[in-house]
Amino acid sequence: THFGFETVSETEKSKRVYQVFENVAEKYDVMNDAMSLGIHRLWKDMLLRAMHPQPGAQLLDVAGGTGDIAFRFLDFIRVKQEQNKRKSSRSMQSPPWQEISNSYFSEDGDMFQESRAVVCDINKEMLKVGKQKADSSRISAGLSWVVCDAEELPFDDNQFDIYTIAFGIRNVTHIDQVTEITGIHNYVFIVLGEKNITFLLFIFLIVISTSRGSPGPEEFKYMIEDAGFSSVKYHNWTGGVVALHSGFKL
């Protein structure tokens, strides 16, 4: 069944996860809206408010699917950037460094690199839909799309400031491997995950149909700590339907 009552092998699980998302890729966004009554948008907005990225931040969005988190991330940065500009133009005459368009500056004039978001997902069909959305809305700048497995990320250490995995942790086969990998890197680890299975049977069919044996929020918190993160916290949202975990690694 899709509800996790039979025993399936790990290979079988990853094959099924792949097939489910390959089949729904084109309809994924519509289904997500319909099944969550649009609430997933609020959760994703809340994730960005909790993350509060600064201009220059580099994001790796794992299991990023059709790019919702990455789009919000770049949008948040753009708005922040405009606010900073307005603030500094009120407080002083434009200094010469503001002429350099591709770099960003803090309020006290320190230079940042440009913000980037890398969306990685094991399923190229999901990424394809995301990329098409980005291209048609002309928001491709700063975005990259990479097909890869959350358990074997192909990136060098310390390339990213923020790591997110939203509604993806249930789908991976070895959760401990995912947290260990992020532990090696210098990531802030933010997870938006689902925990209330009964309710999710109703609202997130895709997740349920692919999830098995995922940890509860407390257990997952310990796993993130074991992977070397500190100040690990979680918040339950919407009566515990989803939980946001965060932690730091310096």
Question: Which stretches of the chain bind ligand SAM, using CB under 6 A?
Answer: 17, 21, 62-65, 68-69, 121-123, 126, 149-151, 166-168, 171-172, 206-207
| The Cα angle at residue 145 between residues 143 and 151, in degrees rounded to 5 | 125
The smaller minimum CB distance to ligand SAM, of residues 76 and 104, is found at 76
Neighbours of 122 (CB within 10 A): 21
Express the helix, strand and coil content of the chain in percent, nearest 5 each. 50, 20, 35
- Bridge partners of residue 117, in order along the sequence: 59, 143
Least distance from ligand SAM to the Cβ atom of residue 59, Å: 12
| Rounded Cα–Cα distance for residues 206 and 34 (Å) | 12
Least distance from ligand SAM to the Cβ atom of residue 246, Å: 16
The smaller minimum CB distance to ligand SAM, of residues 21 and 105, is found at 21
How is residue 234 written in tokens?
């979680």
Least distance from ligand SAM to the Cβ atom of residue 79, Å: 21
Least distance from ligand SAM to the Cβ atom of residue 165, Å: 7
The smaller minimum CB distance to ligand SAM, of residues 55 and 122, is found at 122
The smaller minimum CB distance to ligand SAM, of residues 122 and 143, is found at 122
Question: Distances in Å between the alpha carbon of 241 and those of 176, 196, 201, 204, 234?
Answer: 22, 5, 11, 10, 13
C-alpha dihedral over 229, 233, 234, 235, to 10 degrees? -150
Least distance from ligand SAM to the Cβ atom of residue 186, Å: 20
The smaller minimum CB distance to ligand SAM, of residues 53 and 168, is found at 168
Least distance from ligand SAM to the Cβ atom of residue 217, Å: 17
| Rounded Cα–Cα distance for residues 32 and 38 (Å) | 7
Q: Are 75 and 83 in contact (CB under 8 A)?
A: no
Residue nearest to ligand SAM (CB): 65
| Rounded Cα–Cα distance for residues 162 and 53 (Å) | 8
The smaller minimum CB distance to ligand SAM, of residues 81 and 177, is found at 177
Q: Are 59 and 164 in contact (CB under 8 A)?
A: yes
